[in-house]
Amino acid sequence: MITPRTPFPTSGYFGPAYFCDREDELIQLKRNVRGGNSTTLVALRRIGKTALIRHLYHNMGKSYLMIYVDILPTESMSELLNHFAAAVSSALPESSHLGKKIWKYIRSLRPVLTYDALQGTPLISINSTPEESKQSIAELFSILESQSKPVIIAIDEFQQILNYPEKNTDAWLRTIMQELNNVSFIFSGSEQHLMQDLFMNPERPFYRSTQMIKIGKIEHEKYRKFIVKTFEEHRKFVPEPVVDEILHWADCHTYYVQLICNRVFLASGKRINSELWKLEATKLLKEQEFVFYGYREMLTKPQWNLLKAIARDDLVLQPTSSEFISRHQLGNPATVLRSLKSLQKMELVYREIDPNGDRIYGIYDVLFKRWIT
């Protein structure tokens, strides 16, 4: 495994040394996989779903065949086939018995083969109709099913199947899944409302077919320990209260914590104090300003005002209440409701159920929240 440029990577997975906690989630995932059960991971964006899948794979040992496919780039069944075929083949050495079998099958589909030098993975392009693609995917599944090693297939950004022109992709996949005894699935997706609809709506084929694991933020204490220790290992000293400030600023949201720690690591000498991280935070916000002005360009005035209001309040229980509306001068509840829907659709605002069972609204982009307040 390669080493990241700083011990706080902001993308990818580099092994347990750079990975904080998630012990309970790992245990749950392992239990599901060992029991042959499928799992759905739901979480806010940038909390660490993808990294957790990588971490699981790192921990599973060699007795499993582990396949990971990110389907965000796919827009149709035939592209799903391309990505799936590439994922299966890159999980297997071509010299292995199964690898040979898989490649023989893929070659029979007369693919155009290229290589993604950046990712170091094969790119496969097969010219096929939606029906043919479905059959080929089913065939790949049955080859995997026919050998003895248990298989884990993680499909990341799974909600993307809802954008395919082919309808009922989920029903088709669910039917195939039911016939597989040797394969367990992990579905992960960053668009929470779509994932919830796919797996929790009784009218959907995937309804209750998997165990849902909700991934929350890493506990403050654990993250603090991890950060102090990681700096220490690189002979940098950071007092705990300073780490607390950083975690608070980044809302303990994984990606943002990693981002600010990454910057602080690069900018620091042997000792890290409040001034240093604050300076780095200010620089980060300055760099992102064009993104924030982009939001303003993209949004209508009521949407923009609502976004700012939610950001300023941090978490909002009742955005249509007269108290919230009048305090932020947002007009009338109908406008607010409409804007709220649009902001959720654009993935700027999320809705969650808090531990008390109440609906709360918050904004995804922690940097924007810090910039506007």
Q: What residues line the site for ligand ATP (CB under 6 A)?
A: 9-12, 19-22, 43, 45-51, 190, 218, 254-255, 258
Name the percent of the chain in helix, strand, coil, to the closest 5: 55, 15, 35
If the CB atoms of residues 47 and 310 are measured against ligand ATP, the closer one turns out to be 47
If the CB atoms of residues 50 and 90 are measured against Mg ion, the closer one turns out to be 50
CB of 4 to Mg ion, least distance (A): 17
User: Binding partner of residue 45 among ligand ATP, Mg ion, none, CB under 5 to 8 Å per kind?
Assistant: ligand ATP
- Is residue 339 within 8 Å of 302, Cβ to Cβ? yes
User: Binding partner of residue 369 among ligand ATP, Mg ion, none, CB under 5 to 8 Å per kind?
Assistant: none
Cα dihedral 245, 370, 312, 339 in deg (nearest 10)? -140
54 token code pair: 């990588």
If the CB atoms of residues 48 and 319 are measured against ligand ATP, the closer one turns out to be 48
Q: Which residues would be at the binding site for Mg ion (CB under 5 A)?
A: 49-50
CB of 315 to ligand ATP, least distance (A): 19
CB of 46 to Mg ion, least distance (A): 8
Q: β-strands 183-189, 359-363: how paired?
A: unpaired
User: Binding partner of residue 295 among ligand ATP, Mg ion, none, CB under 5 to 8 Å per kind?
Assistant: none
Alpha-carbon distance of 137 to 264, in angstroms, equals 46
CB of 44 to ligand ATP, least distance (A): 7
User: Binding partner of residue 47 among ligand ATP, Mg ion, none, CB under 5 to 8 Å per kind?
Assistant: ligand ATP
CB of 352 to ligand ATP, least distance (A): 14
How many angstroms separate the Cα of 283 from the Cα of each of 83, 286, 308, 371? Answer: 38, 5, 21, 11
CB of 53 to ligand ATP, least distance (A): 8
If the CB atoms of residues 45 and 204 are measured against Mg ion, the closer one turns out to be 45
Q: Is 93 exposed, middle or buried (0-12, 13-18, 19+ CB in 10 A)?
A: exposed
Which residues are CB-contacts of 354 (< 8 A; sequence separation ≥ 6)? 315, 360
If the CB atoms of residues 68 and 141 are measured against Mg ion, the closer one turns out to be 68
CB of 249 to ligand ATP, least distance (A): 16
User: Binding partner of residue 312 among Mg ion, ligand ATP, none, CB under 5 to 8 Å per kind?
Assistant: none
- Is residue 319 within 8 Å of 306, Cβ to Cβ? yes
If the CB atoms of residues 11 and 175 are measured against ligand ATP, the closer one turns out to be 11
Helix (H, G, I), strand (E, B) or coil at 96: coil
If the CB atoms of residues 50 and 159 are measured against Mg ion, the closer one turns out to be 50
If the CB atoms of residues 51 and 77 are measured against ligand ATP, the closer one turns out to be 51
Alpha-carbon distance of 140 to 207, in angstroms, equals 25
DSSP state letters, 141-205: HHHHHTSSS-EEEEEETGGGGGGSSSTTHHHHHHHHHHT-SSEEEEEEES-HHHHHHHHH-TTST
User: Binding partner of residue 224 among Mg ion, ligand ATP, none, CB under 5 to 8 Å per kind?
Assistant: none
CA atoms 15, 21, 22, 24: torsion sign: positive
Angle between helices 23-34 and 49-59 (to 10 degrees): 60
CB of 19 to ligand ATP, least distance (A): 4
User: Binding partner of residue 48 among Mg ion, ligand ATP, none, CB under 5 to 8 Å per kind?
Assistant: ligand ATP
